Chains A and B, each alone.
Chain A
Amino acid sequence: MVSNNLQVDVLVVGGGIAGMQSALDLADQGYRVALVEKNPSVGGKMIGLSKVFPTLDCASCITTPKMSSVAHHENIHLLTYTEVQSMTREGEGFVAQVLKKPRYINEDDCTGCRSCELACPIDLPDMENEFGRTAHRVAYIPFPTAVPQKALIDIDQCVFCGKCIQACPANCIDFSQQPQQIEIRAASVILATGYETTPRDAKKEYGSGKLRNVIDGRMMERLLAPTGPYGRVLRPSDGKQPSSIAYVQCAGSRDLTLGVPYCSRVCCMYAIKQAMLLSGTLPMADITIYYMDIRTFGKGYEQFYQNAKAMGVEFVKGKVARVTEDGDQNPTVRVELIEENRVVERKHDLVVLSTGMLPGTNTETSFGVPISPDGFVSIPRYHIAPTVTAQEGVFATGTATGPMDIVDSIVTSGAAAAETAAYLQSRNIHPAPEQRLTEATAAGTAAGTAATNEEANERSLAYA
């Protein structure tokens, strides 16, 4: 049971890759951190990805160790399934009211054995992680690598049959659990509230989300992920293995009709990456990327793009005007081939909309921290202090401050940690002394290791 009052040096709001990185960088310095995540598991959007550009590491291999670290770090107090409701300035610090939602299991006792899940008779579509393509039980652990490995019960769908109670070896199911109000006092705050993707039904030109074989980039990530719904790439309408796949770039970015004038920065690279992965899993498939500009600007990204071209991915300059479908639900793309000066309609088996990034925070949920007209957290000293918000003591990182990829999110999160630490120092708040290093020193000396030259000299003199 978590105490109703927490006092920390830093409150990090958001347990995606950005929030976790900031939390770890500060906790490693010795600051006490509360990391609050609204979902039942940390990991954010990244844990749902397949492999990540430009290294093609599996996303889990980068994310899950950090998820594990935030859960086990002695200086991090992790609160999942918890939402920040309000945050006010009090004196020199902040008081946040957070609500820990009931999991209907006793978190301290749950071992993550999944007996409840296996016993539960009701399947629900997994909307949160698999976009409805798989099911989870009413009593469930969100996904295999979730942190913490604690079950929760979707109480609205529960029929109270009691099977989970019978099955649970730890006796930790508790239907009477209530939301817990927790007050967190923090000297500083980091907003790592992330992003949302363009809703799939946003554009009527692309079928308003009604065309079954028009999916978005995050769904394709799941199809490509080893933990995904089918373990291979199948199109939704009929389970056919697609032999022609098209990407529609800027489906939600650089689009004034959606009120999104900006570039989302990641879509070119994720589309190219998916195209490469698809070439691996479906070697015979034709893959086309319809684009306005290819923006592969990061370190190693241009080379990644050229590799995809060399692998046979077709790049067509042209903004897709419309996506329709034929009687077999094959999506048809209408596009002006700019290089050839003609408008064509091309049929594909599957169309992927490279949807963009929308702000994850709005003026109502940013706790009074000013937001820019583009919807992302306002950064007054944009160039020199890229993580310092307009409110003293509040910092922002990752996609809360605008679209960015994982590499940039991680770097920015290091920056937010540096700014936060400097701010805490200026408030005369210093890191707590660390135990482990001291013990290690003692062990090192006991083993008779001559750690430095001086030390070695000193000792050898005694024996000379």
Chain B
Amino acid sequence: MPEAPENSIPISEFDTPNSEEPRIGVYICHCGGNISDTVNVGEAAGALSGLPNVVVSRDYQFMCSDPGQKLVTDDIKEKGVNRVVVGACSLFLHEQTFRKTVERGGINPYLYYHIGLREQDSWVHHGHPAEATDKAIRMMSAGVAKARLMRPMNNIVLTADKHALVIGGGVAGLRAALSIARCGLRVTLIEKSPFLGGNMARWDHVFPTEDAARDLLHGLIEEVLAEPNITLHTGAEVVSAKGYVGNFELHIRQQRRGMAEDFGAIDEAIAACPVEVVDHFNFGLSKRKAIYKPYPGAYPANPTIDWEHCTKCEACLKVAPKGSIRLHSVPIEFDLKAGAVVVATGFQPYEPAHGELGYGEFPGVVTLPQLERILSHDGPTGGKLQIGDRPVHSMALIHCVGSRQVDGIHAPRPDGRVNDYCSRVCCTASLAAANRIRERFPQVNIFDVYQDIRTYGRGHEEYYTRASKNRVTFFRYLADDGPQVVAAEPGDEHPLLVRVKDHLTWGEEIELPVDLVVLAVGMRPSPVEDLVDMLKLAPGNEGFLLEVHPKLRPVETAVTGVVLAGTAQGPMNIQESCAAAEAAASKVVVLLGRGKAELEPYVAMVDPERCQGSGECVRVCPQEGAIRMETFAENGKTIHRAVVTTANCNGCGICVSACPSRAIDVQGWRLDEFEAMVEAIAGEIPSAVPAGTPVLEAAK
């Protein structure tokens, strides 16, 4: 007999039946009608009370409430309940709640099992009460069958790196990094582009305070730079990631800037560069050189070389101090360990299709972000409101371009869906721009073509009233009958016409002659497919990253230790992004502040006595480093046995199905538990026990 290697948990320990007789408490939640409107909860509780080992079976309006939880803790203390089965909502909502409850009652948190009666029964069988009740009883019986076999377990506690990686150097990433660092954790902030500030750096003034966006942004950046706990890498992105909460391992690739830190001859070098490319900072409205910085006060102050377009002609070398520019473009690569990852990858403005409302077709059709660049003093027109050389006298703003799209009317995205969501910021941003224009260029006429004006936030509504006072003229269109932008007759005073069926004047067809059409484009998530794959995140239908639950865990992802900050999650304005980023920071500090991380113990275990060393488990395991073959000596012979590294195992159970000698089980989800559950579901339905039977205690 080989001695069981100490590095796996001998399965026999877990196979030892509990010395104590199972005394099971069964609790069915009404879920405030969500369950009890369909399932006859009283009947179900009664039926279950007759099952062997069930010592109490109750139904209650809100099991998760304090009085509901008290029923459980009291039964544990007073009736000696040592196994708990709760039938309620999805376990994603309240598994943690009830684990804490039973622990408070004095039993191991894993001696409780949760049945999702709401999602798996009452919601899907609405209108079929008898069948739903029958199903509830079967599901709960399965829970009872499992409960008889459950063993106590402990969470796996790991040392966690008190270090967070923040991905994205826009306002949300900066804000998250600062908040985490100020709570005493180390932070590495990486930004994919060579400069900090993201979309906020491109904005002129921000509602509702009318602060210059850059003043706010630069203030925040200065705070980040002054924070000793933060390490900053621009031009850097994650190329691979593995690990788990407390111990993520990330590989980072960083583009070189190509110039010395104290590089002085910025203007000369930029002037000397012969390469001109489209300036994406100005949304394509201007050109820049292959050595560049996006705007004069950008962070870092040093320009960078755009390696994609640099021809290495060395013209810049001739005007720069010797050695200050190095045309060496091979990126730097390094590894990073982090306990948590904050995804602050932000958004990009919706890019209208060519010809969508004249975009790309007429030079006078621009997007709202482009307008912000035009209005900016360091923008392509130096702050003048003009298209080419033509000053603007009349303009139209069209709302909801790329937002609130309707299936069948708007062209779908490559994934077949339309952007059916509201982008939240465009209404107030459009009206803020309209007011600024009316106040800076009073001769400009503004038409505002909208569906609903959504100036919802604190200080936002004032922009709407001010726009009315500023004599911005409003026209309302309906989504299925939107405006059109067409060329005016040659020789007309204004080159463009906006046609709108105005529902403020009972559907009148109106033509608005304009020089400029501004499309208030919505938000699309930054392209982060690679990161989504690497971190195993879930995008929602809209393409933005998905939170676990909008109220219970609004900034956490399904991957413990990976949290969301800002518009990576969905459209938000700057203030909302900062609030979300700080909430994300809070979660990171809760997770890592102790320097420890806890994992659920649902991991594979090998029974070394049964293991024949086939190696099938290692071949099928999808998790790197979760299971491997070890060599042991037995009676002078060399044998192979599988060994699990619990921290790397995600408990998927594929190894269990592959093992030819049934030597592997997932702790907490053993095959005998499954078998018992299946038998209970498929077997005789327990009949209702007559009312008044002592074990059933009707809850008030």
* A interface residues, Cβ below 8 angstroms from B: 25, 28-30, 50-52, 54-55, 57-62, 64-65, 67-69, 71-72, 112, 114, 144-149, 225-227, 254, 261-263, 265, 293-303, 306, 317, 338-341, 374, 376, 382-387, 401-403, 406-408, 410-419, 421-422, 425-426, 430-431, 434, 437, 440-441, 443-444, 447-453, 456, 459-460, 462-464
Contact = CB atoms under 8 A, between A and B. Distances in A.
Contacts of B70: 149
Which 7 A-B residue pairings sit nearest by Cβ, starting from the closest? A414-B583, A415-B582, A422-B182, A64-B65, A58-B32, A402-B458, A226-B33
Interface string B514-551: 00000000000000000000000000001010000111
B630 interface: yes
Contacts of B220: 384
B458 A403 contact: yes
Interface residues of B, number: 115
B140 interface: no
Interface string B66-109: 11111000000000000000000100011001001000100000
Contacts of B67: 112, 144-145, 149
Interface string B551-580: 110110000000000000111001110111
Contacts of B625: 453
Contacts of B579: 386-387, 408, 411-412, 414-415
Contacts of B700: 114
Contact of A450 (B462, B506, B590, B646): B646
A303 B421 contact: yes
B636 interface: no
Given A58-B31, A145-B66, A448-B7, 12 more contacts: A29-B183, A57-B93, A226-B30, A293-B453, A383-B216, A403-B458, A412-B583, A434-B594, A437-B594, A447-B154, A453-B647, A460-B5
Contacts of A52: 551
A72 B104 contact: yes
Contact of A25 (B452, B461, B586): B586
Contact of A418 (B69, B154, B183): B183
A313 to B, nearest CB: 16
Contacts of B232: none
Nearest to A25: B586
Given A65-B64, A144-B67, A440-B157, A297 B7 contact: no
Given A254-B461, A384-B175, A453-B645, A68 B424 contact: no
A62 B506 CA distance: 44
Given A341-B506, A418-B585, A297 B598 contact: no
A418 B177 CA distance: 11
A261 B462 contact: yes
B155 A418 contact: no
B158 interface: yes
B674 interface: no
Nearest to A426: B182
Contacts of B462: 261
Contacts of B550: 54-55, 299-300, 407
Given A67-B66, A414-B555, A431-B593, A295 B452 contact: yes
Contacts of B8: 450
Contacts of B544: 299
Contacts, number: 307
Nearest to A413: B583
Interface in B427-466: 452-462, 465
Nearest to A302: B422
B9 A441 contact: no
B258 to A, nearest CB: 32
A418 B3 CA distance: 50
Contacts of B30: 226
23 contacts: A64-B66, A68-B66, A68-B97, A144-B65, A147-B66, A226-B33, A226-B36, A262-B461, A297-B456, A302-B403, A339-B503, A387-B582, A414-B579, A414-B583, A418-B585, A421-B183, A425-B184, A426-B182, A440-B598, A444-B154, A444-B156, A449-B9, A452-B645
Nearest to A149: B67
B598 A447 contact: no
Contacts of B461: 254, 261-263
A415 B7 contact: no
Contact of B93 (A61, A387, A413): A61
B637 to A, nearest CB: 15
Nearest to A64: B65
Interface of B: 3, 5-10, 30-34, 36, 61-62, 64-70, 89, 93-94, 97, 100, 104, 154-159, 171, 175, 179-180, 182-184, 206, 208-209, 211, 216, 219-220, 247, 403-404, 420-422, 424, 452-462, 465, 476, 503-507, 542, 544, 549-552, 554-555, 569-571, 574-576, 578-587, 589-590, 593-594, 596, 598, 601, 625, 630-632, 643-648, 700
A385 B578 contact: yes
Nearest to A452: B647
A226 B94 CA distance: 20
A340 B506 contact: yes
A451 B247 CA distance: 12
B589 A421 contact: yes
A382 B206 CA distance: 11
B648 A414 contact: no
B511 to A, nearest CB: 20
B589 A299 contact: no
B257 to A, nearest CB: 27
A187 to B, nearest CB: 15
Most buried by B among A296, A386, A416: A386
B583 A411 contact: yes
Contacts of B183: 29, 418, 421-422, 425
A452 B649 CA distance: 10
Contacts of B601: 449
Given A226-B32, A383-B206, A425 B182 contact: yes
Given A297-B422, A447-B154, A29 B582 contact: no
B458 A415 contact: no
Nearest to A463: B5
Contacts of A463: 3, 5-7, 630, 632
Nearest to A402: B458
A339 B506 contact: yes
Contacts of A437: 157, 594, 596, 598
A61 B593 contact: no
Given A296-B422, A339-B507, A460-B630, A71 B66 contact: yes
A387 B220 CA distance: 15
Contact of B582 (A306, A419, A430): A419
Contacts of B33: 58, 226
A374 B643 CA distance: 64
A79 B44 CA distance: 39
B507 A418 contact: no
Contact of B646 (A306, A376, A449): A449
Contacts of A430: 184
Nearest to B597: A437
Contact of A456 (B424, B455, B645): B645
A66 B506 CA distance: 49
A287 B507 CA distance: 24
A295 B454 contact: yes
A299 B569 contact: yes
B539 to A, nearest CB: 13
A65 B3 CA distance: 47
Given A57-B551, A263-B460, A383 B570 contact: no
Contacts of A459: 5-7
Contacts of A450: 7-8, 644-646
Contact of B420 (A302, A339, A417): A302
A452 B158 contact: yes
Nearest to A67: B66
Contact of A145 (B65, B554, B569, B570): B65
Nearest to B508: A341
A384 B576 CA distance: 9
B609 to A, nearest CB: 16
